[in-house]
Structure 1
Amino acid sequence: MSLPPDALEALAAFIACAGWEQRARLLMQWGERLTPLAAEERNEDTRVHGCESQVWLVGEIKEGHWHFRAASDARLIRGLIALLLARVNGLSSAQLDEIDLADWFAQLNLSRQLSPSRSNGLRAVLQRMRELADNA
């Protein structure tokens, strides 16, 4: 499966980083790219359960392709979610089912920085995306 343009951009940027400090800075910058959710979109229905941080996710399908928006109260998590969105936005429901979260973050050289709780949280976000796709 080819990567969406935003994912290619993320991959190029993170591969070019010399070390963790650069990647951490870049991660924060990616988090700032998230389209803000309106206050009414931050509710119990859109909250992702299974995350230590507060995370909200909304998704819509346009012409067979998913477009997600998300927010979090934690800066690092916002960056990780932005990278996940870069990887999944524009995919079909079937393609969404094929996403390998661990492989994506390994390609970005971020695997070692994913604590078990962050990995679980990101898996919960991806699972919620898949639930939205299944229920569409």
Structure 2
Amino acid sequence: MATDAFESIVEDFEFLDDWEDRYAMVIDLGKRMEGLDDALKVPATKVDGCASQVWLVPRIDNGIFNFAGDSDGLIVKGVIAVLQALFNGVPLRDVAAIDAHAELGRLKLEEHLSGQRTNGLRAMVERIRKLAAEAA
């Protein structure tokens, strides 16, 4: 049930044998991502449970879920970009049905992230689901 954007990342990952190259790709995704205006980096948008500072802001249009995000960590910002590829453009009613753990497992991200970043990834997924549920 992954989006085309996420499938594209999966395909790109399959061509990269080395995890250093995959990390570089994740970082590059984060660098290309539009950040948040500082006015949106407030306690209400901050995700608790992340080692880095992370902010997520929902953007709902005609029942379609999108979110913007930012982080002060390069790898974490890249992880946000991966989550955007997974969740953005999905109807609100379908966000909860996405098995983020299984989809992200295809990238084997959690196997190569530190424990704190893995916990942060889970916290971001939980926040995304909560934002979508509140908007539905």
The question of a shared fold, defined as TM-score above 0.5 by the shorter chain, is answered with: yes
> 4+ residue runs of structure 1 moved beyond 4 angstroms?
none
d(CA) in 1 for partners of 2:10, 2:30:
15
CA distance in 1, matches of 2:99, 2:76: 18
Q: Distance in 1 between matches of 2:21 and 2:124?
A: 25
Aligned length: 135
Deviation, structure 1 residue 29: 0.6
User: Contact (CA 8 Å) 1:101, 1:123: kept in 2 or not?
Assistant: no
Residue 101 of structure 1: how far off its partner (Å): 2.6
With the length of structure 2 as denominator, give the TM-score of the two structures.
0.91
Deviates more, 1:64-73 or 1:106-115: 106-115
Percent identical among aligned pairs is: 35
2:126 paired with 1:105 = no
Structure 1 residues 12-62: Cα deviation after superposition (integer angstroms, max 9, x where no partner): 111110111111111111111221111101111111111111000001111
TM-score normalised according to structure 1 size? 0.91
Give the C-alpha shift of residue 91 in structure 1. 1.1
Q: CA RMSD in A?
A: 1.3
Shift of 1:102: 2.4
Partner residue, 2:16: 17
Rounded Cα–Cα distance in structure 1 between residues aligned with 2:7 and 2:104: 13
> Which residue of structure 2 aligns with residue 61 of structure 1?
60
CA distance in 2, matches of 1:34, 1:92: 22
Q: CA deviation at 1:63?
A: 1.4
* Unpaired stretches in structure 1, ≥5 consecutive residues: none
Give the unaligned 5+ runs of structure 2. Answer: none
Cα pair 1:47 1:54 within 8 Å, conserved: yes
Indicate yes or no: 2:128 matched with 1:129.
yes
Cα distance in 2, alignment partners of residues 95 and 114 from structure 1: 27
CA distance in 2 between counterparts of 1:95 and 1:21 reads 33
The Cα of 1:99 is off from its aligned counterpart by 2.3
1:34 and 1:69 in contact (8 A); partners too? no
Per-residue CA deviations over 1:51-98 (Å, capped at 9, x if unaligned) read 111000001111111111100001111111111110000112232112
Greater Cα shift, 4-13 or 81-90:
4-13
2: distance between equivalents of 1:134 and 1:100? 15
Change in CA separation of 1:117 and 1:99 when aligned onto 2, cut-off 3 Å: farther
* Structure 2 counterpart SS, 1:57: strand
